[in-house]
Amino acid sequence: MFGLSPGDRVLAVAPHPDDETLGAGGTIARLAAAGIHVHVLAVACLTQPRWGTPTDSRLRHEEFNAACDVLGVSGRRIAWSDDHRAGHLAGHVAELVRLIEAGPDLSLAALEPAALLIPAAGAVHQDHQVVHHAGYAAARPSGALRHWPRMVLGFHGPEDHTWSREFPRPSVWVDVTRTAVVKDKALECYARELRDGDHPRSLDRIRAIDAAAGASCGAERAEAFVAYRMAC
């Protein structure tokens, strides 16, 4: 996949635990099945009241680990959990860039990944916008000064497909037909975060989004990405 070889590393940066599965779960599972070491850095997790069901960071950690196990993720970490940064990412952009650039374990410096997956521009959620800008800045080319991935791809969340004014046109499609069942199983680990009916986060809607992407590349199900860099 993408010209990567078994043993190569990929870093996926998700704003919250579950975004890695919602936006790129089938691709992560396919990479892992091909012997690529995929690592997931989830930035923020909070215990707080909200619409639907209240969040509980302890349960979110458990769900995150379970989903990563299903997808075949190698390393995983939630960086900021129940602290002031997790509740206000926009006020900590410089720190977030440094975390992605040179954090202690799951970072560009620590892993030297061949590819970086980040939220795509034009996201509906403000945290996704912040993480996109931070990931984009961290991946800037810098010669031999530090490691920068030769491939940078942006993924979308399901809400972006239904409520985004600046939805960038995807340029890369990944056939996830064979790993769709793995993605569905990982999504079930986040059952508390999914919704019923016609909500964008319902399993039926997520499958429909993947089916629409698949129609663009002649596959049953696919995931679409925006290519920010594809360097060979």
How far apart, in whole angstroms, are the C-alpha atoms of residue 43 and residue 85?
Answer: 10
Where along the chain do its domains lie?
9-230
Averaged over 126-131, what is the pLDDT? 96
Averaged over 175-203, what is the pLDDT? 93
Indicate if the pLDDT at residue 64 is higher than 80.
Answer: yes
Model confidence, pTM:
0.95
Averaged over 168-194, what is the pLDDT? 95
How far apart, in whole angstroms, are the C-alpha atoms of residue 101 and residue 107?
Answer: 6
Cα 60 from chain centroid (whole Å)? 16
Q: What is the CATH number of domain 9-230?
A: 3.40.50.10320
Indicate if the pLDDT at residue 156 is higher than 70.
Answer: yes
Cα 174 from chain centroid (whole Å)? 14
Q: For 15-53, write each residue's pLDDT tens digit.
A: 999 999 999 999 999 999 999 999 999 999 998 776 666
